[in-house]
Each structure stands twice: as C-alpha cells, then as structure tokens.
Structure 1
Amino acid sequence: MHVDAWLQAISPLWICLLVGLVIGVESLGIPLPGEIVLVSAALMAAQGVVDPFWVGVCASAGAIIGDSIGYAIGRKGGKPMFDRLGRRFPKHFGPDHIDKAERYFQRYGMWTVFFGRFIALLRILAGPIAGAVRMPYWKFLIANVLGGIAWAGGTTAVVYYLGRVAEKWLKGFSWAGLAAAVLFGAATMLIVKRRAAKMAAQEALEPVTAD
C-alpha cells in the first residue's frame, strides 16, 4: 500500500499525529520516510482531507522534539554509540557517513543543523552527532527550531499551494498554467536544498585538515 493510500485510511487527527511521530522518530536517528509522509499529508491537505496548518504544526513539532531527543542521546552515548551502530547498520551509520557528518559540524556548526533538515543523511544524524560533538545546546536549539519550522512548515505550505493550483488549472484545462505552477513550486522547494548541496560540494573540495 502506498503512503498516501495508507494515510487516507485514518482520521485527520491521526494523520497529523502520525506525521509528527514519523518525523520525530526519524530525527532520533532511525531511518524512516519522514519527507515522503509529510509530502503525502500536504497533498491530502490540498484535497481538503486534513488541515494544512496542523500538518505543518505537527511536522515542525516532531522535527524539533525528535532532534532534541536525538541530541540528548548523542551527548550521552558519544562516539562509541556510533561505532556500535556502524557495525550493525553500515548503510546508514557507517564510518564514512559519520565522518562526513562530523566534518560538516566542524566547518559549518549551527548551519549544519539548519540545512541538515533538507539533506536525507543529515536529517537523521544531525541531532545525535551534535550531541556527540558537544555542540552547546542553546546553539543547537536555535538552529533546530528554525530549521525544523523552515523545512516542515515550508514543505507543507509549498506542496499544499502547489496542489491547490494544480487542481484549479486541471479543472480549467489550462495545461500551460499547470506546467508553470508545477515548475514554480518545484523550484521554490529546491532553493534551500540546492544551498545545502552547494555546502556539501564545498566540503568535498576542501577537506578539513587536522590541527
């Protein structure tokens, strides 16, 4: 069963709570399809199935709370925890993944937490690694709150309005307008992701040297 079909089988309240739960658990460091669930719920909001405001609120809350718990877990477990996870789950927590994420923190600090929301790997690892490298919690919290709201609220808003515009143009058979709306919406959603990708490219070209 596809994610959207699964979501349509439950009530609007549980859709919002489920979105927050999945994103929150993903932010703990457990690989789950948080972005897919969020986009599916936002599209359902565009169809009038659920309120987009509460989708965005629950998604933002899940992202912020989940990352904060992940920070606490990483701070308590430290690097040995990632070593154990790397042996059991090399696809997600292998040494290369952890080293790359740590380099982001060394180079970009708070921006890693903020932009990490828009990158699949960092969305899972940002909270635990921030705790493991002892980033001051107040810095982490600011970046976490701003990043969570920008990603969850922004994604919900863009997908919702894109869905509404698409429905309007479909009813009017204006395929050119629909295509323009889709391209505009897609470009809007990719702005921050491209910024994050540029940050990753700079990291690859300029490796951090040991002091």
Structure 2
Amino acid sequence: MNLLHVVEQLFAKFGYLVLLIGLPLDFIALPIPPGNSTLTYTGYLSYKGVLLLLPAFLAALTGALLGVTITYAIGYQIGMPLVEKYGKWLSIKPEHVQKVRRYYDKYGNTMLLFSFFIPGIRQFIGYFIGMIRVPFRAVVIYAYLGTLIWVTAFFAIGYVFGEQWQSVFLLVETYLKYLFIGLGCVLVGLFLVRWLIRPRSS
C-alpha cells in the first residue's frame, strides 16, 4: 500500500491524534506514518482548511518533541546496557556508540540542528545522544530547535504550495537525498586525503 495513502487514511480516522501519536512513533523507529510526508500533508490539510493552522502546527511540533524526548530518555536510561547485551542482534555495537561520541565531540551541537533532515538518522539520533550522555540542556536548546526547523520546513511545503505539495515534496526529498550523498562522498574523500598524507612511521 502507498505510504501517502496510509497517511491520508490515518488523518481521516484520527485527525490531530495522528500527529501526537504518529510522530513519536516515527522517532521511535516505527515510521508509520512516515514523518516527512505526515508533516507535509498536515500543512496541506491546513491550507485546505480541513485542519486549523495553529492547532495542527502545535500538535505536529508537540508530537515531534515527544519523540525526541522519549528516545533520548530511553537511550540515556537503558541504551548502553541493551547495546552491550543485545547489540549483536540489533546490528549496533559499542564501537558504533563511540563513533557517534567522536562525531559529537568534533562537530558539537551543530549536528543536532540538521540531523532530523538526514534519512535514517532521525529515527536513531535521540537514542544515541542519550547513550553518549549529551546534557539535557543541550538537547532542549539544540535538538528541540532542530526539531522545530524540521517541522516548520516540511509543514510549510504543504501549506505554502497547496495543491502542488506532492510535486514539491518529492523534489525536496530527492534533493535532500543527493545533498547528503554528496556530503558523504566529500567526507569520505577528505578522510582518504588525510589518511594518504599523514606521516608514516618508519
């Protein structure tokens, strides 16, 4: 079944509850409904007058913030014990957590502002920042701000572009995919250059 059709059916049946329940599920790594298309469709329904603009936006933001907070709390409280005990079945090893820690130490809180736009990262970033013990104050300032930017951006696509929202949404999704693939290639290239030019021990 088409995911957009699923989103439409859920909105028809549950209304605002889709945002308060569905968006946290997206962060918990159960993306039914998927976050990006749900937010964009919410904006479109607000454009059509099916949903009220402010309540719809606030419900979307609240659902997303709940998702970040819940996954952060799970990661903080029980994340590392689970990884150490069951990580091999989850394809997550303690080394992966340490890798996230190194990235966080290097790029700081900036990564929390944009990680929600990266496909596949949004569903895990909350767990990982909990496991590496990012202070909750930093989560509130940076991860919550990143969530606000993400919600606003995709909500605005549906509200601003109206009947053309699907075309614009697909275009944005495509460009985001290419952007992050390109950034990944650049980072790999920089790593290889640094590795090739580093001094060799005799």
Q: Match for residue 43 of structure 2?
A: 42
**TM-score, scaled to structure 2:** 0.71
Instruction: Select the structure with the greater relative contact order (CA < 8 A; seq sep ≥ 6).
Output: 2
User: What 5-or-longer segments of structure 2 have no aligned partner?
Assistant: 196-202
**TM-score, scaled to structure 1:** 0.69
% identical equivalent positions = 23
Name the CA shift for 1:154/1:198 in 2 (closer, same or farther; >3 Å). Answer: same
Q: Match for residue 131 of structure 1?
A: 130
Q: Does 1:121 align with 2:106?
A: no
The answer to which of 4-13 and 123-132 deviates more is 4-13
Distance 1:39 1:96 in 2: 36
Distance 1:99 1:31 in 2: 25
Q: Match for residue 27 of structure 2?
A: 27
Say whether the 8 Å CA contact 1:111–1:143 is kept in structure 2.
Answer: yes
User: What 5-or-longer segments of structure 1 have no aligned partner?
Assistant: 168-178
Q: How does 1:39-188 map to 2 (within 5 A)?
A: 39-83=40-84, 86-90=87-91, 93=92, 101-164=100-163, 166=164, 182=168, 186=171
Q: Match for residue 191 of structure 2?
A: 206
RMSD (CA atoms): 3.8
Say whether the 8 Å CA contact 2:97–2:131 is kept in structure 1.
Answer: no
Q: How does 1:3-14 map to 2 (within 5 A)?
A: 3-9=3-9, 14=14
Name the CA shift for 1:8/1:63 in 2 (closer, same or farther; >3 Å). Answer: closer
**Aligned residues, how many?**
190
Cα deviations by residue, 1:158-178 (Å, 9 ceiling, x for unpaired):
2221125x49xxxxxxxxxxx
Q: Which amino acid aligns with 1:122?
A: I
Cα deviations by residue, 1:92-143 (Å, 9 ceiling, x for unpaired):
x577875664443232221222211111222111111111111111111111
Distance 2:129 2:140 in 1: 10
